[in-house]
Amino acid sequence: MSARPELGRFDLTMIVISLVIGMGIFRTPVDAAAGAGSPAIFFAAWIVAGLIALCGALTFAEIGSRYPITGGYFRVFSYAYHPSFAFAVTSVVLVANAASVAGVALIGAEYLVPVLAPTSGDPAGLARLIAAASLVLFFALNLLGLRTSARVQNLLTAIKLLLLLGLASALVLAEPATAGSPVAAPPAPPDAPRGAVEAFGLALIATSFTYGGYQQTINFGSEVRDARRVVPQAIGLGLAVIISLYLLLNLTYVRVLGFDALASADSIAAQVAAAAFGEAAGVALSLLLFLAVLGFVNVAMLTNPRLLLAMSEDAALPAGLARVSARTGAPTAALTLFVAVALASLFAAGTFDVILNYTMFLDSIGMAAGAAALFVLRRQTSHLDDLAIYRMRLYPALPLLFIAAYLFIAFAVASADPQAAVRGAGIFAAFAVVDLVARRRRRSPSARPPEP
């Protein structure tokens, strides 16, 4: 794919924000509070996860600056490790991302159903139809090309940021929750006592999931103007906005709902909006949440097909998936496959809570391995050090801290849900074996991707 550089700093910063802020911030605070068991551990997990994300952002910013290429995530793994490892990690990530897109679209549609058809006899079926229509709509939009998709993304991200700031305003507009407050629901029965380390690990799983996604920015590579400077700047700016918003929103949730109620709450965004603006705010909130979901759906269709495209160009997938529109530059074949998998997942995807552990185990291994690739890139691309590329400070301490943190998260997931870890490891191994066998049958060498 001969990509035209069409994305600037503002475009990429908005993409970073949309990649990270999906529906997680409206759901994972409940899981984090339930796992933490105390406000101190809860806020510690959010702060530590933010610092870990910052370490990761700096690490992946340098990776993107040293190796600015479309499909960078897959090609970084291929360059630093082995093509079969890259194939396995990327394939699992793509399948998980497609299922997540379907699940998130469904969550957004469920907010919209009571507004469009409050007396529907089949709200679940209607929600699936709305979610499917959303996927098809943004499939058509992305066929128009990167420039059009990026402009729509900027608008949807702006709406999402306004929604989050509106919710955060409840920090000063709403009365704080008390034991007798109608907002503060009675706490759920306590689970068996757990140690502080275990509680922190459970909270960190949820909070880290909510911070993930910024690393996919490196998939745009050569489609970014002045990528060696703009990629790290966009990642840094985006993460600064996200960390600030997340801490502000969680302060709002705890103040308005109360910590015990938060640990067992449903529809926390709706409860906070009702406390600050009255029950009538529910309709407006539902529409805004649906638009926020559309931003995530669109950005997923911007990033994931470029991974499929890179895999096809490097002979890891059939050559037909490398087909690109001559008029718009859109990766039509790869986009079609990704949306097809998402639509298929829509009618079989698990709930958000089921997806969380499975996705976090695989993402933790992939994120740790991706960050470790920087050590290889620094050694292999030392000739770039005198050029205008981004070089992180406190190297190698920050990437090592990031790697250790994500290995801890993987261990926490495996301890909390061994079946999710075993299934994830099994699927990863199966993809790796499939690629090794395919390479041996076609007798193709493990070709390295282009040099940085």
Domains of the chain by start residue, with CATH: 9-442 (1.20.1740.10)
- Sequence-ordered strand ranges (E) for 179-276: none
Please report the pLDDT score of residue 2 as a whole number. Answer: 47
β-pair partners for 224: 7
Averaging pLDDT over each range in 37-46, 53-62, 68-77, which range is the top one?
A: 37-46
Instruction: Check the CA dihedral 98-104-108-113 and report its sign.
Output: positive
Residue 235 has pLDDT above 90, yes or no: no
Please report the pLDDT score of residue 189 as a whole number. Answer: 46
Please report the pLDDT score of residue 175 as a whole number. Answer: 72
Rounded to whole angstroms, the Cα distance separating 250 from 265 reads 13
Whether a cis peptide bond, with omega within 30° of 0, leads into 396 is yes
Instruction: Determine the average pLDDT of the residues in 276-297.
Output: 79
Q: Which of 95-104, 139-148, 416-425, 438-447 has the lowest mean pLDDT?
A: 438-447
Q: Which of 174-178, 419-423, 448-452 has the lowest mean pLDDT?
A: 448-452
Rounded to whole angstroms, the Cα distance separating 227 from 108 reads 33
3 state DSSP class of 164:
helix
8 A C-beta contact, residue 422 and residue 82: no
Q: Which of 141-150, 155-164, 214-223 has the lowest mean pLDDT?
A: 214-223
Report the residue count for the chain: 452
8 A C-beta contact, residue 66 and residue 384: yes
Phi, psi of 7 (to 5 degrees): -100, 130
Q: How confident is the model at residue 335 (pLDDT cuts 50, 70, 90)?
A: very high
Compare 180 and 326 and report the one with higher pLDDT: 326
Residue 250 has pLDDT above 90, yes or no: yes
In this predicted model, what pLDDT tens digit does every residue of 297-315 receive, in sequence order? 888 898 888 888 888 888 8
Run of H or E including 286: helix 281-313
Rounded to whole angstroms, the Cα distance separating 298 from 137 reads 10
pTM of the model: 0.75
Please report the pLDDT score of residue 186 as a whole number. Answer: 47
In this predicted model, what pLDDT tens digit does every residue of 92-128 receive, in sequence order? 778 778 877 887 888 788 778 877 887 777 887 888 8
Please provide the average confidence, as pLDDT, over all residues in the chain.
Answer: 81
CA 342-86-387 angle, 5° bins:
110
